[in-house]
Structure 1
């Protein structure tokens, strides 16, 4: 299970769950090879934790806007199978706002706000440095993905691949 983000030129984007499903049909190894070009992004099964890093943790929750759109934000498009999660889409304008937010975000501040929430269950000896490094790496990857998508004027489609 992983959370997959894919850049799509706006003229190619379709408001069809079947079309969006076809965007994500490749196996995980093919996706990982393509991700190197930053036209796609992947978050592991801890994608909800990554969302906490950007959406804020109580009582410092983010207002609707670029912070909340980084991971889970977007307009839902529901597949025919009600047991499958919806696709999420961001317009090119929304991608540009998210890219601007990420480019100006200070990871140290984000980590400081979310640290206590993200570490429980991972608080073994030395776990903080590894956990922090994983979140910092994902932050760099998301910043690169959204930055390149914005430079190309792309929309973004996201989906939880089970």
Structure 2
């Protein structure tokens, strides 16, 4: 039994080593990566950034690719959320309400840097329909994940890229 565990652990180690990234990057690619990391960090430190999403992950439905035009924009003390909602809503206003399309003030903004090159951002937003908790994971390369939970709707997630050109 111990031999099987040892062989399994060795196999997992070999697979992980095979998946490791190549550290021998060309100077041009290393320079571009460093510039991207710097732009991402500057935008996050200023609390002035936009994440353009291209995939949605509803809680009870299959994932979907999204067309162009959906985003979350943070500007110092506000969030501009232009996101679709797919899922179960418990209580919403007549006509469906605004869902995740709103511009509101941010409360309880917290940014934490992780060990693995990602930055976690947490904030809360209240509007007349609901209370939302946003959790953003942003990586050095600009890749981002947005997770939104609320009181009146199922949790929903999004994936996309930070727009570092603006």
Greater RCO, CA 8 A, separation 6+: 1
Q: TM-score, normalised by structure 2?
A: 0.26
User: Which of the two has higher C-alpha Rg?
Assistant: 2
Q: TM-score, normalised by structure 1?
A: 0.26
Question: Which structure's residues are more often helix, by fraction?
Answer: 1
